[in-house]
Structure 1
């Protein structure tokens, strides 16, 4: 069986360093390891989705819809995505602007990370840039909200074709109020606070009111809170010795897209949590796939 996922959103170049700690003011430090990789929520999710077909007798294909461009740095992004069998559909292939670059320092002892980045605020695409046949043969869509105008248009198109839509709700962004009523699965972090929402209960009530039937709120290594078709509960996250938590949420979303095409909502959350927890045992966002 073949499944094809479309992942809409941010494409970055990540420079990831492993060090004893982030530098203090006017301090220089020497990293013990480093990785250069494509990054961004939708990007990491697409790679995880594509990789997970090796765990069963299915085949996954990922298409990433975002802005890459033609700056020399983008060759690093394209090479990384090609290695992991992720097709790029570039929303602005002619731009010579450098891609957003993230500098990330992972603390060796704890796995915590410090991040300096520029998101897609300066590189927003118009919905006219969407290829007309982008949803052909697509089984699931994930939208991370970083290309909001494109994401809303894609969601409307997917809704008309009964293609399930997942959102990665890392933090509230302008335009989510228009996107959320189109969504089937809202997978949000504990920091995703819609307007006038101050608690987890407020968040669940808001998402339910806009018509989302399946909602999950992640809390890092703590249990996932869910609400599905009026039933709420928790899914425990496997305990692990974290080496690096960078990208674990993105990997969780990509794994969820893989499992929700095969399992029910609660089971898909539990399966995705196992993959994300496993990924935290390795430095960077790729090495978990090599094990």
Structure 2
């Protein structure tokens, strides 16, 4: 059954290079492959959610700079509708330069965040939640995200956060969150361990919490029940965007399964994606990781 999602956050243009190693100081190296695509946590998650058979709107700042045509083409070809928070913005979008090391699949990223392109909740479309069945927030448009999270909570629409890292203002969103799916780098103020993170989020009242750790098991706390889920051990080609893909897949599965099963299924998709270069090529494989 087709579901409808709203994904809120950042859009970037990603220039990704595959190399044998990272360059040293004053060193120029040749890439063996490259790809150009739209990026950002909410963007990659939205494309994944659409790829799995759903309708999705990406709420972000895109604008009308010439570079944004590349972004729009990639996102819309993936079945994602863009709701632009600043349609008249003439500034260039954030551009990420990414080097993926061929032997390990690890990536190095130079990027800008969305701190210079924040918009206010007054710029929200009045009907933005019409027909929406799940909301995902990546933390890069905090004012808008807080307003939508409040509205979603009032309308019994589940809210998921991508807690890649702590961002100022997250504390205003968290009281309205149903599913906090965080990375091992997500540390709220005063937290310096996973135990502290779980305690912080549980105290706020979030019923379902998970912390991903790359190839290590996912730690979770669901309605007070703690546990862990193993992650398939693979030979990674590229880990870029794996967390974003995980979140998009999680949003797909949580509308159909319980928390643990949704985590397990999303892990399978994300692991599969790491066996391909770039954030889109896995979608063209025969099994799509399903």
TM-score where L is the length of structure 2: 0.98
- After TM superposition, give the deviation of residue 21 of structure 1 in Å: 1.3
Counterparts of 2:258 and 2:232, CA distance in 1 = 19
Q: Post-superposition, which runs of at least 4 consecutive aligned residues in structure 1 deviate over 6 A?
A: none
**CA deviation digits over 1:134-188, x for unaligned, max 9?**
0000010000000000110110111111000000000001011111011000000
Aligned to 1:2: 2
Distance across 2 between alignment mates of 1:2 and 1:274: 21
What is residue 94 of structure 2 aligned with on the other side? 100
Please list every run of 5 or more consecutive structure 2 residues that lacks an aligned counterpart in the other structure: 286-290
CA shift, 1:285, in A, is 0.3
Question: Structure 2 matches for 1:1-291, cutoff 5 A?
Answer: 1-53=1-53, 60-291=54-285
Once the two structures are superposed, what CA deviation does each residue of 1:216-235 show, in whole Å capped at 9, x if it has no partner? Answer: 00000110000000100001
Whole-Å Cα distance in 1 between the matches of residues 186 and 168 of structure 2? 12
Distance 1:135 1:40 in 2: 22
- Cα-to-partner distance string for 1:82-109 (whole Å, 9 max, x where unaligned): 1101000000010100000000000001
Distance in 1 of aligned mates of 2:60 and 2:78: 17
Give me the whole-angstrom Cα distance separating, in 1, the residues matched to 2:214 and 2:2.
31
Separation of aligned partners in 2, 1:149 and 1:22: 37
Q: Distance in 1 between matches of 2:33 and 2:121?
A: 40
Q: Distance in 1 between matches of 2:87 and 2:128?
A: 16
Distance across 2 between alignment mates of 1:152 and 1:22:
39
Count residues with an aligned counterpart: 285
- Could you tell me how far 1:2 is from its partner in structure 2? 2.1
Structure 1: state its 5+ residue gaps. 54-59
RMSD: 0.5
